[in-house]
Amino acid sequence: MPLSLDTHIFGSKGPRKITILLYNVEKPIHPLKENETIIEEWRAGRATDLIEIKNKTPVYNEESKIYSLALLENHAIQPSHKNFQLVITNGD
């Protein structure tokens, strides 16, 4: 399972971004070009047989000065930088 994680430099502001790529078993898998990775193919826009899953982007709350994420059914009891929710972004 390829994973793309934007680098998070210590002291930088804002949440991390995660992208997960999975093969869609309902579509035929085409072979990669020689010396090409799945991530390179995805970045070039040729990954039509992959499911793209990303973390839901939190919203910055100006009043409390934190990023917050409205999770389904309020599963998170306490705010944490570890809270995240994954969503399919290219649902075919």
Q: How far is CA 14 from CA 11, 46, 79, in A?
A: 10, 30, 15
User: What global pTM score does this model have?
Assistant: 0.65
Check whether 9 has a pLDDT greater than 60. Answer: no
The domain locations on the chain are: 3-57+84-88
Check whether 13 has a pLDDT greater than 70. Answer: no
User: How high is the pLDDT of residue 53?
Assistant: 92
Q: What is the pLDDT of residues 44-79, one digit of tens each?
A: 888 788 889 998 888 877 887 777 777 656 566 666
